[in-house]
Structure 1
Amino acid sequence: MLSALGAGGLALGLAGGLAGCASPPAPSDYAAEKPALDLRSYFNGPLTAHGLFTDRAGRVVKRFTVKLVGRWDGPRGVLEEDFVYSDGTTQRRVWRLTDLGQGRWQGEADDVVGQATGQSAGNALNWRYTLALPVDGRIYHVQFDDWMYLMDEHVMLNKAVMSKFGITLGEVTLSFHKP
């Protein structure tokens, strides 16, 4: 097999294997990416999002749409999210956001445990928080590692990994659209 790959193929294979051991992405990795994400501008006014939740095996568990409205007063903002799930259930979350400067963000919501923290650079935002998630009459505290990427002035893609005790429970994928 080595002769079929040659030394270059072996080097590429080793480099690919080592890349799997690399550290996770950081917002600074996207600092040069355009268009630059201005969270206050993008989440100002009405937006719509479509998303889905997949379990650890990658199966779609729930689909949903979200109607959002953002308002800002200087560095402080409110982002209202109204969810409608594929099973007909609804949910409302109201984020209270603060722009701390230098790409740093802080947020609170009634079902978020403590404070959410975020860091943005270039076209990306990494948002981390613990959510109090109701399941079958019980509340579980699960961690979200949320990444948002501005694609253009209208579209932002969002991928979040949900975990508990460091074990991935599933992923949320969203597409935001700003008219």
Structure 2
Amino acid sequence: MTQRNFFHRPFLLAAVVCAALLGACGTPQVQDYAKETPVLELRDYFNGTLDAYGIFTDRSGKVVKRFTVVMTCTWKGDAGVLDEAFSYSDGTTQRRIWRLTRHADGRYTGQADDVVGTAEGRQSGNAFNWAYTLALPVDGRVVNVQFDDWMYLMNDKVMLNKAAMRKWGVGLGEVTLSFTKR
């Protein structure tokens, strides 16, 4: 091994480790929003009927699909049901029924037929962060895609939602939604 290669490898390794650490430092945490108002209470906001308007953008930022959602939401204690009826710009429709549980430590978990395993979420201040794997139909097959889903309560009627989609850590695109409570 030449002297140049000997010194080059540790430098390269150190650069990769530093980049990974800096990337981790820049990731928002739900606790970052603890002082933001209005304070989001999921059981209050997701109760009744809501309308949502959204877009899916690919990794270049191009809008690939537009959609609307009508949500009917109910809670009994710490158990909630969010019944979502999607209508897409290409004329297709979809339905997802979330079954949510609020836990004593403030966590939320959720399940739906097209969610792989259990979704995990936390609320703080006006924000809610939700992570889950969705079995997404793509070109006649199903692809498991990870979602990092962020919701921000703007006022008692409006919430904004931005979700990053990844597969094997690679960004595929984003979903952006605006919820309006009736």
Show CA shifts across 1:107-126 (max 9, x none). Answer: 00000000000011000000
Take 2:24 and 2:45, find their aligned partners in 1: how far apart are those partners?
Answer: 34
Take 2:38 and 2:163, find their aligned partners in 1: how far apart are those partners?
Answer: 21
* 2:75 is the alignment partner of 1:72: yes
Partner of 2:50: 47
Secondary structure (helix, strand or coil) at the match of 1:37 reads coil
Counterpart pick for 2:133 among 130, 135, 151 = 130
- Matched-pair identity in %: 64
Take 1:99 and 1:20, find their aligned partners in 2: how far apart are those partners?
Answer: 31
Deviation at 1:20, TM superposition (A): 6.9
TM-score (norm 1): 0.88
Take 1:71 and 1:21, find their aligned partners in 2: how far apart are those partners?
Answer: 36
- Alpha-carbon RMSD across the aligned residues, in angstroms, is 1.4
Gaps of 5+ in 1: 1-18
Show CA shifts across 1:135-160 (max 9, x none). Answer: 11111000000000000000000000
Partner of 1:112: 115
User: Would you say the 8 A contact 1:103–1:121 is kept in 2?
Assistant: no
Take 2:133 and 2:58, find their aligned partners in 1: how far apart are those partners?
Answer: 18
Matches within 5 A, 1:18-57: 22-57=25-60
Secondary structure (helix, strand or coil) at the match of 1:101 reads coil
Secondary structure (helix, strand or coil) at the match of 2:25 reads coil
Partner of 1:61: 64
Counterpart pick for 2:96 among 82, 87, 93 = 93
Secondary structure (helix, strand or coil) at the match of 1:29 reads helix
TM-score (norm 2): 0.86
Take 1:170 and 1:120, find their aligned partners in 2: how far apart are those partners?
Answer: 24
Partner of 2:5: none
Take 2:57 and 2:140, find their aligned partners in 1: how far apart are those partners?
Answer: 21
Deviation at 1:21, TM superposition (A): 7.0
Matched residues, number: 162
